[in-house]
Structure 1
Amino acid sequence: MRARDVMTTSVISASPEMSVQETAKLLVEHSISAVPVIDADGKLIGIVSEGDLVHRVEIGTHARRRSWWLELLASSRELASEYVKEHAQTVNDLMTVDVVTVAEDTPLSEVAELLERHRIKRVPVVDNGKMAGLVSRADLVRALASDTHDKRKSFAHADVEIREAILNAMSGQRWALTRGQIIVRNGKVHLWGVIFSEEERKAVCVAAQTVPGVRQVISHLVYPLTLPSM
């Protein structure tokens, strides 16, 4: 699956001329935690999140507590940036401009990795610089929960195709069954072989369970025999 398959296309956005107070109201009214900033040409130029609105002079949260040595280490650039965040009146001055984005055809695995790596909750989807949609962590969870994306409900494959798909799923994995056998009969998968940990057993079973057409996975996997010490 790709970003276009799960993204939200009806995205609430802000303009760079919008006031900070109007933007805060937008977040509250629509129960969202961030808004992309779109210019007159429909291009994404920034994003404003709840985090950008936490330290504000209007509500008395602008004074940041730092130890004296952190205060000394803070650069003039950092202090100036904080002042702008605390006192800016328009979105143009407040927004984060270095926005992490993805394309419509970006695989969901890459989207999830970006969200995790940058510790963000959502990522804009752009097409030639213009906003096409938004993928959030919630969208990924919905995709997982949706029956329409349940691989197990796909058309049943022939046993030989199921076996081949399981082997492909394990291909290149260090925990793959190298000394074992996979037998498939009427969609039931029998796994025979030697494993060296419970984690390996689970990984092999999951590799089989996620193949379309598999009705049941029966594990006959065993640990290697250990000879008594002499």
Structure 2
Amino acid sequence: MEDIFVARVMSTSLKTVSSDTLVEDAADVMLTDEVSSVLVVDDQGGLEGILTSTDFVDIVAKSSPKAKTTVERYMSTDVVTATAQESIRDVADTMIEHGIKHVPVVDEDEGVIGIVTTTDLASYLSRVQRPSPT
């Protein structure tokens, strides 16, 4: 596999907030712009941190008092799935096409049997790519 440098694959359309932005407003940015993270920058554009959708799981889990809202209110029901026999390239293309990071793997007889995530694809790529010389 040929070397592809970060500049060739990185996103340059960045979503940023300041450190004093309310988490609710940061969440609005993430939802509106359909991104899973915002970069926290200072007035000069220097990186101070990052807030991700994973951080919001922690925020909700630690919130008090609890909202006692069921997942049904927020869950996606038009779920894109794959079968165990599909190629990872096809699944990766599907993820990009739909802007998703999780694809449940289903079997007609057994139901849900697994899930493929962007982390799984990155892990696979790192295993099949020859290590750089040290």
Q: TM-score range by the shorter chain?
A: 0.3 to 0.5
Larger relative contact order, structure 1 or 2 (CA cutoff 8 Å, min sep 6): 1
Q: For the pair shown, which has the larger CA radius of gyration, 1 or 2?
A: 1
TM-score (norm 1): 0.26
